[in-house]
Structure 1
């Protein structure tokens, strides 16, 4: 079994069950000029430098797709595969990032902002549908039923 976080448009290619689907929040340092805003639009962020995961990774695809679907281009100034590095770059004011809302909870010096048109991320549990283990079956029963696909 695996837990997967994918762009809202993606679906696992194995047996799976969707656990959650949510819009990502814009994360900025508390000193950032946008930190006090209540609501933003995706188009208002095109001039911001972004920090993000590497190109074509599941952590980045949903943000690239959201900008592309809106006909917008953004600049990714820094890339990292490590969440703590991304958060540190944002904390130091070197860029902004789209991240899952729960990621920033309890993080000092960071602010989460809702954005109209924000990227959407889906969370899945996936398993081998051809030969699921007894443990996988028991876990799925705990989740409340069979999955799809």
Structure 2
């Protein structure tokens, strides 16, 4: 969910770009953003992708099952594109044509800023509770039960 929708309830023309960036990072890592926890600090996917991109160009994000079949340059480029798509400010995110160009060409990419959600980490307790039958928000202020109509 894009930050502008999470905080104001309004979509922007680049809300889908944010979702695409999350999806791209999920595909690369082989993990869903809602179930990703890394390390003692319980980093979420965006925080881990950001740190990995800063330290190793993003190769640590790659699902180990895919490591032998991937080009390191292409993986790093895809992680960088994913991070550009999940920028906090709408104006910092590329538009659809720019993303398509980034994916299909080998031109240089802009440097992403640290995603805002990468600053906050999840704790293991809240993640283990969300794996139960009822979904509980991370801040534990609301509780929703998933039921069909």
Query: So what's the TM-score if we normalise by structure 1?
Result: 0.25
Query: So what's the TM-score if we normalise by structure 2?
Result: 0.25
- The structure whose Rg is larger is 1
Q: Which has the higher strand share?
A: 1
Bigger RCO of structures 1 and 2 (CA < 8 A, at least 6 apart): 1
Q: Which has the higher helix share?
A: 2
